[in-house]
Amino acid sequence: MTIRVAPTPEGVVQVPEIASLGIVGAGQMGNGIAHVAALAGLPVAMVDINPAALDKALGTIARNMERQIGRKLITPEDRDAALGRITTSTDYASLGDTDFIVEAATEKEAVKREVFKALCPHLKPSAMLASNTSSISITRLGAGTDRPEKFIGMHFMNPVPVMKLVEIIRGIATDEPTFQAVDALAKKLGKQTAVAEDFPAFIVNRILVPMINEAVYALYEGVGDIRSIDTAMKLGANHPMGPLELADFIGLDTCLSIMQVLYDGLSDSKYRPCPLLVKYVEAGWHGRKTGKGFYDYGQDPPVPSR
Ligand code: NAD
């Protein structure tokens, strides 16, 4: 790891340069993070408990890069070099030599805690850690690791190769070199950063997901049907996607988890998850990734699923 010196409001700090990336969780976010990091020239090691998720991630990355070639954003040589930088494994030991690991596993605190417990003993002492969590306290997740000062929130947006923003969230214990190193990495990946304080759901999801939850209430109370709600918000508020379409895109399980974190973390009834959202999740209708959510993706174009 090379070190550079950077001036900060607190004085000069030594900032480690991140030269290799590990990713835990090869779902829709994990594969997107691997995609942009590999194209930026970093070796990427991806770990998932599910080998099928790793195969699926590699297929998705190759398909998405193909699309970028079609749009002349990258060349076939860029793609080949980037795919050559990605390795996969089901074993955390494969991350032993990695400078920085981003956890992008399922949005459940218990799952993330288990990941860090199993992962930390394999890491070199200088390795820094981030969670891509959409809502869970960075301070609390960091406290469950052996290195809270090297732990940070690095919140990518979906789809990662397209969306320009990364929210960076310091936990109470996060040190300045870690913050500077991760901010520099985000910029190397072509992203702009916004710094959020460590409060439930940070900035983007604090505002976005209650709006989605309100759209589900509008459906639940019969204010409008699925198509009316999405059309109204697309044409009436100039949103590129309707809120229910967007919920399917994010994942209804993830939306529900974020509402639960807001409800529990802020103890305010205005954040109560809509019972209809709970029902969809109970049904296993998690959105695009399971083929069905508010819309059924078995048909092209998708149709409302009920
Ligand atoms: P996903 O369901 O697509 O993928 C989660 C992956 O984690 C799965 O492949 C699963 O096998 C894996 N996993 C579960 N337990 C694991 C373990 N113990 N060890 C290793 N892998 C494990 O979810 P996603 O949408 O990619 O979300 C991942 C994270 O990113 C969540 O924290 C979520 O809140 C956050 N996030 C999601 C979005 C979004 O729009 N979906 C946006 C920003 C951030």
**What's the pLDDT score for residue 11?**
82
User: Do 181 and 232 belong together in one domain?
Assistant: no
* Residue 36 belongs to some domain of the structure: yes
**What's the pLDDT score for residue 294?**
98
Q: In testing the pocket of ligand 1, which one of 90, 106, 160, 286 has its CB within 8 Å of the most ligand atoms? A: 106
Which of 169, 196, 223 is the last residue before a domain boundary? 196
Count of residues making up the chain: 306
**What's the pLDDT score for residue 56?**
97
User: Do 121 and 183 belong together in one domain?
Assistant: yes
The reply to whether the predicted model has a pTM over 0.85 is yes
User: Do 186 and 216 belong together in one domain?
Assistant: no
Q: Is the Cβ–Cβ distance between 90 and 62 less than 8 Å?
A: no
User: Do 147 and 36 belong together in one domain?
Assistant: yes
**What's the pLDDT score for residue 123?**
98
Q: State how far the Cα of 193 lies from the Cα of 1, in Å rounded to an integer.
A: 23
User: Do 190 and 211 belong together in one domain?
Assistant: no
Q: Is the Cβ–Cβ distance between 32 and 160 less than 8 Å?
A: yes
Count how many Cα atoms sit within 13 Å of the Cα of residue 18 in the half-sphere of its side chain: 32
Which of 162, 196, 230 is the last residue before a domain boundary? 196
**What's the pLDDT score for residue 5?**
83
**What's the pLDDT score for residue 2?**
82
Parent domain of 299: 206-304
Q: In testing the pocket of ligand 1, which one of 254, 259, 281, 286 has its CB within 8 Å of the most ligand atoms? A: 254
pLDDT, mean of each 10-residue run, the chain (306 residues): 80 92 97 98 98 98 98 98 98 98 96 98 98 95 98 97 97 97 97 97 96 98 98 98 97 97 96 98 97 97 96
Residue 155 annotated as catalytic? yes
Cβ atoms within 10 Å, residue 236 = 8
Which of 20, 35, 135, 155 is catalytic? The answer is: 155
Q: State how far the Cα of 206 lies from the Cα of 244, in Å rounded to an integer.
A: 17
Which residue in this structure is represented by tokens 């589900």? 216
User: Do 13 and 85 belong together in one domain?
Assistant: yes
CATH of the domain at 120: 3.40.50.720
User: Do 186 and 289 belong together in one domain?
Assistant: no
Domain count for the chain, please give it.
2
Cβ atoms within 10 Å, residue 67 = 11
* Residue 62 belongs to some domain of the structure: yes
**What's the pLDDT score for residue 10?**
73
User: Do 188 and 45 belong together in one domain?
Assistant: yes
**What's the pLDDT score for residue 108?**
93
R_g of the chain, CA atoms, integer Å: 20
Q: Is the minimum distance from the CB of 253 to ligand 1 under 6 angstroms? A: no
- Using the mean position of ligand 1's atoms as its centre, give its distance from the Cα of residue 118 in Å: 17
User: Do 122 and 36 belong together in one domain?
Assistant: yes
* Residue 201 belongs to some domain of the structure: no
User: Do 143 and 103 belong together in one domain?
Assistant: yes
